[in-house]
Amino acid sequence: MNWMTILGIAVALAMDAFAVALAAGAVLKPLTGRHLFRFGFHFGLFQALMPIAGWLVGMTVQKWISAYGHWIAFGLLAFVGGRMIWEAFDNGEEKAVSDPTRGLTMVVLSIATSIDALAVGLSLAVLNVSVWLPAAVIGVVAGVLTVVGMLLGRRLSGNWGKRVEICGGMVLCAIGLNILLQNTWLK
């Protein structure tokens, strides 16, 4: 596998993480170096580990992943995106926005945005290609694009406020729906 192919796969896999990072950067006030590190590190780590896991598992569970993986990704992304939209429209008393770079939310987002990397690992196993270099490149690219997405999301939120939060939630739901459609009706 050549470098251009590996880089192309890495960038394609990182687009979900980038979109989620845009939304996270928009809702965090203030956006600190700690937020950037946590999100970038975890998204990069999960994006690197999922192809390795898929490669190690190989053909054993390929049928299960191909049959249900898209439903899992859709459910996770729709849940988090729907929650973001709900919180943006909530006209209750002013409350602190939950930090998406902490706890269960970060784990759910990390898993949801890296499920497609698991399928890439399965594919690499089928092709009998070593996973180690692609996994490292995928992880680094995802980590960098996550930080860039958060910084860009922060800039946009200053000008657009709740609209960016709503759009971010809609993007997460759309990514989940796209994953679902690509693996069910549009095959």
The answer to whether 131 touches 102, Cβ cutoff 8 Å, is no
- Is the pTM higher than 0.75? The answer reads no
pLDDT digits (tens, 9 = 90+) for 131-177: 999 999 999 999 999 999 999 988 876 565 566 667 767 776 777 78
| Alpha carbon distance 22, 157 (integer Å) | 9
What single DSSP character describes residue 161?
A: T
Q: What are phi and psi of 168, to 5 degrees?
A: -60, -45
Structure tokens that stand for 141 in this block: 């690219």
